[in-house]
Structure 1
Amino acid sequence: VVDSAKAGAKTVRRPWFGARLQALTADVADGLGLDRPAGSVVASVVERGPADQAGLRRSDVILAVDGVPADDPEAFGYRFATRPIGGTTMLTVLRGGKRISVPVKLVPAPETRPREMVKLTSRSPLAGLTVANLSPALAEELSVETGNEGVIVAEIEEGSTAAQVGFQKGDLIKALNGEKMLSSRDVEAALKERRRAWEVTITRGGQTITSVFPG
């Protein structure tokens, strides 16, 4: 990351891991024979991402990055993010009671689809949002979980209807009035319809929330 900044890169590129981690609890650590709850449990792996291609599995416990202990997901994220793009990092992983070394390639998050950022202005509870197609690269920028698909809230205009009703940056719009939203253009098209009420389904922090707003 530092080398990238010194080289004058317009954006700082960080390596993409492609997995969701959870903190290791005391009970789980005790069951694994660890002296203390230090490490990160792999909760899910993004298909064809670096973690998946390295062979990491759900329930693996990551203990260290290049021999340096990483006691929790935050410590792991920092140590992994500071490794230079283009190389390989070696993870110490606990699997089935045995410690193994797992090499992971350091690659940037891919822009798998055009972002197609759209500012929503039509009369609706979403007015004032700028939405975009979610990709691993955008998820990395917005610090949201990778592996999801759909339309993400990239920006919110201050004082807008959307801000007033409680939308947050990073919300993932899943459906409008029961119709699945697959792209930012889907959302834009759906909002052209005049309605007395809007049923909006989003995911936020891993939870699915459905709300009904007046038109």
Structure 2
Amino acid sequence: MRKMSAALMCAAFAAFIASAVPGAAQVVPRSQAEIDLSFAPLVKRVAPAVVNVFTKRVVREQAQSPFANDPFFRRFFGDRFSFGVPRERVQSSLGSGVIVGANGIIVTNNHVIAEGDSFTVALADRREFEAELLLADERTDLAILKIDPGSEQLPTLSFGDSDALEVGDLVLAIGNPFGVGQTVTSGIVSALARTQVGVSDYQFFIQTDAAINPGNSGGALVTMDGRLVGVNTAIFSRSGGSIGIGFAIPANMVRLVVASAQDGGNGRVVRPWLGASVQSITSELAQSLGLDRPGGALIGDVYPGGPADRAGLETGDVIRRLDVHDIVDENTLRYRLATREIGSSVEVEYLRAGRQRTGTLRLTAPPERPARDETLLEGPHPFSGARVANLSPALAEEIRLDPMLSGIVVTQVVRRSPANRLGLQPGDIILGINDARVESVDALEDALSGGGRNWQVSVRRGDQVFNTTVRL
């Protein structure tokens, strides 16, 4: 203990002497003793790659009557107090971003730029650039922006391997909380693979106690070797401020989204799919299946000819591992597949009737069969004003439905149309018309072409099926 104390004292004295000498060079910490003293050299190296992202959008508003808030008038007239020409108002919001490409590629959170009309990026040296939105991926809560720095090579952060993180590793969070300016906070990795956060479709987050506050969204989570291992995205808080529970999207997911934006993916990310429906193994399921503990993903329906089918997986199998990664639940499986490249292969370990088996998943993109044939329905019928399409695994992935579903899906509903009055919503699946089942857009149009005043309609929304009679 005395030797350790002496070593720390020597390191502290050396650091003091270095700081006291004008112009003394600072270096990235090389030992635990140096890390204990200061993060300054690391921050100087990585902070210039963290930027501020300003989002603006134009909101149209109706002018209000001066009696709009009078209880007496509201009792008789309700909310009918708007009048005159709509006026426009500019709303702005602030977040953070990380430069990951020297040519001006920046990653941030999707919720930072959501519904924005224009975007401005402010660098650490206070220069500002107008930014172009290359890709917005709501499912991962990530967005990719591009600025034009000319011939200048911007400072960047390189990606680290987020799978190599361990609980207890030191990390820095860099961003612009509350708009006060660039701020650095330190902490440790508190937990890995958090799957119950609820801020994106892919529930698999790095948890840290480094202070993350509003405005930090889209900022960098950095390791001690100066690599980007996460994009800060959310906090758990009852007060709105940091209480030491923050979450970051792992860099291995961020890397693939950035690659999709640069590869010209038409503004969307195409991910591998399993070709099967799955559910998490709960304690009750584990007991009924004779497993020694909960954990894994139970295979339900299997898509004929899909990756799971070709790997030999069947209904009732329990996936326990992909390559070297344990599969804890459904969210873990979806994340592990989503961070793989289309065309790659992965070894799957699963249980069937209590016996361990292995297979090889060759990952492909979800197929677009049948062709979507997107059509706007018009005419004297209750679905007029609905845009519909044939549902395929590819379209289901795009609009966040179960890829095992089939039929005719509503993709858009025109306001003040018969379909809108019927209550149709995007994502609804049209099952039948007048007691006749319809399974394609062509069949639906044929069923609607007969006309009439009374219509029996069957629609599925989520896990519920609604049957109603409509009179025109």
| SS of the residue 1:112 aligns to | coil
Counterparts of 2:406 and 2:291 in 1: how far apart (Å)? 37
Q: Are 1:29 and 2:286 matched, yes or no?
A: yes
- The one-letter amino acid paired with 2:430 is I
Counterparts of 1:51 and 1:12 in 2: how far apart (Å)? 21
Residue pairs, 1:186-197, within 5 angstroms: 186-197=443-454
The structure 1 residue matched to 2:342, chosen from 81, 85, 98, is 85
Give the root-mean-square deviation of aligned CA atoms. 2.0
Deviation of residue 163 (structure 1)? 3.0
- The one-letter amino acid paired with 2:388 is V
| SS of the residue 1:188 aligns to | helix
Q: Provide structure 2 residue ranges, at least 5 long, that are not aligned to the other structure.
A: 1-255
Counterparts of 2:311 and 2:346 in 1: how far apart (Å)? 11
Q: Comparing both chains, which one has the higher relative contact order based on Cα–Cα distances under 8 Å and sequence gaps of 6 or more?
A: 1
The structure 2 residue matched to 1:20, chosen from 274, 277, 281, is 277
Counterparts of 2:420 and 2:281 in 1: how far apart (Å)? 36
Counterparts of 1:24 and 1:57 in 2: how far apart (Å)? 16
Deviation of residue 96 (structure 1)? 1.7
Q: Are 1:212 and 2:440 matched, yes or no?
A: no
- The one-letter amino acid paired with 1:9 is G
- Per the alignment, residue 119 of structure 1 pairs with 376
Deviation of residue 128 (structure 1)? 2.0
Q: Tell me whether 77-86 or 116-125 shows the greater mean CA deviation.
A: 116-125
Residue pairs, 1:34-49, within 5 angstroms: 34-35=292-293, 37-49=294-306
Counterparts of 1:92 and 1:157 in 2: how far apart (Å)? 47
Deviation of residue 189 (structure 1)? 3.0
Deviation of residue 125 (structure 1)? 2.2
Distance 1:163 1:4, change over 3 A: same
- Per the alignment, residue 455 of structure 2 pairs with 198
Q: Are 1:9 and 2:269 matched, yes or no?
A: no
Whether the aligned pair in 2 keeps the contact of 1:46 and 1:146 (CA below 8 Å) is no
Whether the aligned pair in 2 keeps the contact of 1:16 and 1:109 (CA below 8 Å) is yes
Counterparts of 1:61 and 1:167 in 2: how far apart (Å)? 37
Q: Tell me whether 71-80 or 83-92 shows the greater mean CA deviation.
A: 71-80
Higher radius of gyration, 1 or 2:
2
- Per the alignment, residue 132 of structure 1 pairs with 389
Deviation of residue 92 (structure 1)? 2.3
Counterparts of 1:162 and 1:69 in 2: how far apart (Å)? 46
Q: Are 1:156 and 2:413 matched, yes or no?
A: yes
Deviation of residue 152 (structure 1)? 1.3
Q: Provide structure 1 residue ranges, at least 5 long, that are not aligned to the other structure.
A: none
Distance 1:136 1:212, change over 3 A: same
Counterparts of 1:156 and 1:47 in 2: how far apart (Å)? 32
The structure 1 residue matched to 2:326, chosen from 53, 63, 69, is 69
Deviation of residue 107 (structure 1)? 0.5
Counterparts of 2:280 and 2:454 in 1: how far apart (Å)? 41
Q: State the TM-score, normalized to the length of structure 1.
A: 0.88
Counterparts of 2:280 and 2:466 in 1: how far apart (Å)? 25
Q: Are 1:179 and 2:436 matched, yes or no?
A: yes
Deviation of residue 206 (structure 1)? 4.1
Q: Tell me whether 120-129 or 52-61 shows the greater mean CA deviation.
A: 120-129
Whether the aligned pair in 2 keeps the contact of 1:89 and 1:103 (CA below 8 Å) is yes
Of all paired residues, the percent bearing the same amino acid is 36
Q: Tell me whether 102-111 or 191-200 shows the greater mean CA deviation.
A: 191-200
Deviation of residue 164 (structure 1)? 3.4
Counterparts of 1:164 and 1:72 in 2: how far apart (Å)? 40
Counterparts of 2:414 and 2:348 in 1: how far apart (Å)? 41
Deviation of residue 159 (structure 1)? 4.2
- The one-letter amino acid paired with 2:387 is T
Counterparts of 2:274 and 2:464 in 1: how far apart (Å)? 22
